[in-house]
Amino acid sequence: IRRSLVACGPWLLVWLLAGCAGAQSALDPAGDQAARTESLWTLMLWICGVMYLLVLLFLAASIWRARRRLAGPPLSQGQASPAERPLLRALTGWVGLTVAGLLVLTVGSFVVDRQLAQAEAGQALRVKVTANQWWWKVEYEDPVANRRFITANELHLPVDRPARIELEAGDVIHSFWVPNLGGKQDLIPGRTNHLTLTPRRMGLFRGQCAEFCGLQHANMALDVTVESPSAFTAWSEHQRQPARAPSDPRLARGRDVFVGAACASCHAVGGQTAMGQVGPDLTHLASRRSLAAGARPYSRGALAGWLADPQSLKPGNHMPYVATNPDELNALVDYLDSLK
């Protein structure tokens, strides 16, 4: 056993440390709020680590002393045990240490909590995120550029600019968490919560619903892209454009299937006849990184599979099976895949 422990030790360490980086890690902060949470976590780790080592040390010392006493001559009646004399001193020390540790942790949590609750002054980007079983509706409202548009399951944020995020829920309680940037914050039906994220590093991050909300809670992810202000402007300019009416007859056929097969009663495609509000807005579906709130990376094939049998990819989700023949399905996939 000892030999295998020695062999596995370095790998175990690598495995443990690997959890500290990546696109979904609270220990690899890419924004102000996540950095504050991470520093509180580090403080807690140090205090708890030192306490743990001290307890182990004193336990070992007590065992050693008790063994030595047992080996020595027996005490006569009325004689105090040598171990009992420093007991009061040790007790005072332990209580003092515990109170001091808890006090530092309490003050630390309070200060960080106040910092996180602070609304950023100035022209923050405004985004409203509504959680539904099991996807995210994302509405952008930019007071500086006077832009408004809706997307789903993805969030784009410009680097170095605070984003004020309004959080609501359409059905049950969910929780918004992008570990590298900040959170968690619950989304509660009938209530509006707020969260500010100030990203400081560009990259792709993964958000995840962090409150159990039903069968597909695990498949309720959010793709987060932190990009340069110019890339963000280009993206948002594109997103606010309505979808163009298809001129290709095959795409036009797909659009007719979309409307005729009742897809349009749940989904909206900006600029066209689809205005449904029950499911995700599909105006620029094919420009997204993933499908069905992170269930699969986006591709034409994944889209076709999803439409052919939505329950096999994400069992229990509210997307019904749409009866289409293979030709209609192909036209529908072509049309949706053209919504870049």
Task: Please choose, out of 142-150, 209-217, 245-253, 297-305, the segment that lies near ligand CUA by the rule CB under 6 A.
Answer: 209-217
CB of 128 to ligand CUA, least distance (A): 16
For the chain, the C-alpha Rg in angstroms (whole number) is: 28
| 160: three-class secondary structure by DSSP | coil
CB of 136 to ligand CUA, least distance (A): 9
CB 138 within 8 A of CB 288: no
Joined tokens for residue 80: 């105090």
CB of 269 to ligand CUA, least distance (A): 25
- Encoded one letter per residue, x for contact with ligand CUA by CB under 6 A and - for no contact, window 94-133 reads -------------------------------------x--
User: Where does 125-248 have alpha helices with state H?
Assistant: 229-239
Q: Which of 36, 147, 201, 217 binds ligand CUA (CB under 6 A)?
A: 217
- Encoded one letter per residue, x for contact with ligand CUA by CB under 6 A and - for no contact, window 133-152 reads -x------------------
Residues 6+ apart with CB under 8 A from 29: 35, 37, 38, 180, 181
Q: Which of 28, 154, 211, 334 binds ligand CUA (CB under 6 A)?
A: 211
Rounded CA separation 263/325 (Å): 15
C-alpha closest to that of 282 among 248, 315, 306: 306
Of 15 and 212, CB closest to ligand CUA? 212
45: left (phi over 0), alpha (psi -120 to 50) or beta: alpha
CA distances from 80 to 60, 83, 111, 113, 247 (A): 22, 8, 48, 50, 98
For residue 209, state whether it binds ligand CUA (rule: CB under 6 A): yes
Joined tokens for residue 108: 């630390």
Q: Which of 30, 220, 269, 292 binds ligand CUA (CB under 6 A)?
A: 220
- Encoded one letter per residue, x for contact with ligand CUA by CB under 6 A and - for no contact, window 171-200 reads ---x--------------------------
Task: Please choose, out of 141-149, 194-202, 207-215, 269-277, the segment that lies near ligand CUA by the rule CB under 6 A.
Answer: 207-215
Task: Please choose, out of 212-220, 237-245, 276-284, 313-321, the segment that lies near ligand CUA by the rule CB under 6 A.
Answer: 212-220
Of 174 and 314, CB closest to ligand CUA? 174
CB 187 within 8 A of CB 167: yes
For residue 291, state whether it binds ligand CUA (rule: CB under 6 A): no
What per-residue string of b and e applies to 25-48 under the rule 16 or more CB within 10 Å gives b?
Answer: bbbbbbbbbbebbbebeeeeeebe
Of 206 and 253, CB closest to ligand CUA? 206
Q: Which residues bind ligand CUA (CB under 6 A)?
A: 131, 134, 174, 209, 211-213, 217, 220
